[in-house]
Structure 1
Amino acid sequence: MGDALFPFQTCLNASTLFPYKLDIREQLRVAAEAGYDGIEIWMRDLEAYAASGGSIAELKDYAASLGIAIPNAIAFFRWADMSETARHDGFAQAEREMRMLAELGCPAVAAPPYGDVDGAGPEHFAAHFAELVRLGRSMGVEPYLEFWGRAKRLNRLEDAVAVLDLSGIGDAKLLLDPFHMYVGGSRFESVGSLSGDRIGIVHANDYPAEPPRETIADRDRVFPGEGIAPLGRLARLLCDSGYDGYLSLELFIENFGGRTAPDTARYGLDCLRKAFSVDHIEGARST
């Protein structure tokens, strides 16, 4: 949990463990034993667990026995697709998946600009996001609006904020990710205009100077503090906004060498706490 030097909660995005090919129960165990407060699961892993005969109710009990929360899920449904047919199917998928998440006790799900959104404007996104939020809330699951730096539309923080404002849902929330902010050209200072209660969750990662912004890919992300991202400044802005929620370590490193899954999880937690610690931030303010 957060404290005076680290006023956030820690979370491990299951993507970080993908190279180890763990099932969802093993992912939960590794995250809990490493000391994280929560884990972000991926819908594909939950669906694979259920398809193999696993009980979602038992998985919920297992997470509780480990003392680890499941604050958010990563999903990909076409809620904003330009095709009405694809969008209809996307909402059917979203309803099915959010019912599973509700049974698991997971209170939120990511809603990125997945699908054909090339011709979508802010009003299009806003109308369908509002529809998605109403659907999710009817089941007790909150969609978090996510922007992707490489998307043709909804690729900057400023765009996401505009969509939230246009949606007419005053307490709707977004998902922040420094990698996507960098790739899409978002201004990190724009976080300073946000109130913390508009932020659902923050993905934590870093990126190197090379490859350059134009060609850098998800697999090039590095542990917090090992790249050039202004994480100290981001953490200060988050603190000032009043945000004290989860920072979720989301990496897509394809090979960790000889490091085991528990080693990677523990190392990532240490990097996370150091890169976003208040004493680190204070020390960086004079630089």
Structure 2
Amino acid sequence: MRDVKFSLNASTLFPFDLNVIDQIKVAAHAGFDGIELWVKDIQEYLEKEGSIKELINCIEASGIDVVNAITFFKWSDTDEGTRQQGLKEAEREMTLVKEIGCKAVAAPPSGDMAALPLQKIAEHFSELTELANRIGIDVYLEFWGKAPKLSTLSEAMIIALESGLPDVKLLVDPFHMYTGGSHFSGLAYLKSEHIGIFHVNDYPSHPTRKSITDKDRVFPGDGIAPTAEVANYLEKINYNGYLSLELFIENYHNQSALEVARYGLEKMKQTYLR
């Protein structure tokens, strides 16, 4: 995977309480090619500190791309009123991130989907995608391992197939594959163009799969994830998109944000480049 690119999900830097400008600067100085920003951080910066123009100037000066935005609008929900409100929120937030040059937005199962059949969720995703297309931004279908519905790679693939869309892109994450019980061999069924972005992380043997939470994620290579197997699957499909480090570690002790980012990039290259 020599042509793969590296991104930093801003969640990795959350313990340092940086504003979005400093998140971008850290990612750039550490040597990343891109960054995933959280919409809440963008909104907070604009409300309290700066302007869209200042943010755009910072991104352009950094030389890195904003490859995805993380947010939680309820694009699918058993309550139609809630879903319609979610779509309005999606339109506002996708318009915002498009303005700063962001390429895509994640669409996780953040609504109440438990009672919905996959076909209905697929219809909802198709509607969200149509909205994103009008705005001019990609949307990545994301599954969460502990979600009541849309918790596995196979469910995400069914939704993609049933959506009627020709080019659905998935957001794939080893932690969510593990917690949801997805088979890593399922990656062999994907083509490179089916992956919008691939999150990178690892997980320990304890806590157990049943009780593990996001904060228990560890750097790639430091846990029990079959990282070599995952890297092999990605290499076989000639994946050349972004690998993005997404951790939720709560305390890095005496390390600085830049040190953490540089270490994370080093671990990514050690474990995924072959």
Which residue of the partner structure matches residue 284 of structure 1?
Answer: none
Which residue of the partner structure matches residue 159 of structure 2?
Answer: 163
Which residue of the partner structure matches residue 18 of structure 1?
Answer: 14
1:217-242 CA distance string (max 9 Å, x none): 00000000000101111111112112
Distance 1:139 1:162 in 2: 25
Which residue of the partner structure matches residue 207 of structure 2?
Answer: 211
What is the CA-CA distance between 1:7 and the residue it aligns to? 3.0
Tell whether 2:50 aligns with 1:54: yes
Tell whether 2:144 aligns with 1:148: yes
- Give 3-state SS (helix, strand or coil) of 1:10's partner: strand
Which of 66, 70, 77 does residue 74 from structure 1 map onto? 70
Distance 2:52 2:196 in 1: 24
| TM-score (ref. length: structure 1) | 0.94
Which residue of the partner structure matches residue 282 of structure 1?
Answer: none
Q: What one-letter code is carried by the residue in structure 1 that aligns with 2:252? A: F
Which residue of the partner structure matches residue 192 of structure 1?
Answer: 188
What is the CA-CA distance between 1:190 and the residue it aligns to? 0.4
Distance 1:220 1:7 in 2: 30
Which residue of the partner structure matches residue 258 of structure 2?
Answer: 262
Q: What one-letter code is carried by the residue in structure 1 that aligns with 2:180? A: G
What is the CA-CA distance between 1:141 and the residue it aligns to? 1.0
Which residue of the partner structure matches residue 172 of structure 1?
Answer: 168
- Give 3-state SS (helix, strand or coil) of 2:135's partner: coil
1:94-136 CA distance string (max 9 Å, x none): 0000000110110100000002111011111100000001101
Give matches, 1:95-244, under 5 Å.
95-244=91-240
Q: What one-letter code is carried by the residue in structure 1 that aligns with 2:41? A: D
Distance 2:100 2:58 in 1: 10
Mapped contact 1:7–1:239 kept (Cα < 8 A): no
| TM-score (ref. length: structure 2) | 0.98
Q: What one-letter code is carried by the residue in structure 2 that aligns with 1:174? A: L
Tell whether 2:269 aligns with 1:273: yes
Distance 2:262 2:16 in 1: 15
Q: What one-letter code is carried by the residue in structure 2 that aligns with 1:212? A: T
Distance 2:112 2:32 in 1: 36
What is the CA-CA distance between 1:53 and the residue it aligns to? 5.2
Distance 2:4 2:52 in 1: 28
Distance 1:169 1:95 in 2: 19
- Give 3-state SS (helix, strand or coil) of 1:71's partner: strand
1:121-158 CA distance string (max 9 Å, x none): 11111000000011011111111000000000000001
Distance 1:183 1:150 in 2: 6
My pick for the range that moved more, 92-101 or 227-236, is: 227-236
Which of 232, 242, 254 does residue 246 from structure 1 map onto? 242
- Give 3-state SS (helix, strand or coil) of 2:127's partner: helix
Tell whether 2:27 aligns with 1:38: no
Distance 1:6 1:221 in 2: 25
Distance 1:165 1:54 in 2: 42
Mapped contact 1:28–1:63 kept (Cα < 8 A): yes
Q: What one-letter code is carried by the residue in structure 2 that aligns with 1:162? A: I
What is the CA-CA distance between 1:18 and the residue it aligns to? 0.2
Mapped contact 1:174–1:199 kept (Cα < 8 A): yes
* Structure 1 residue runs without a partner (length 5+): 279-287
For this pair of structures, how many residues does the alignment match?
274
- Give 3-state SS (helix, strand or coil) of 2:229's partner: helix
- Give 3-state SS (helix, strand or coil) of 2:198's partner: strand
1:209-264 CA distance string (max 9 Å, x none): 11110101000000000001011111111121121110000000000011110110
What is the CA-CA distance between 1:58 and the residue it aligns to? 2.7
Which residue of the partner structure matches residue 81 of structure 2?
Answer: 85
Distance 2:31 2:214 in 1: 25
1:23-54 CA distance string (max 9 Å, x none): 00000000000000000000000111121252
CA RMSD, 1 decimal: 0.9
Which residue of the partner structure matches residue 285 of structure 1?
Answer: none
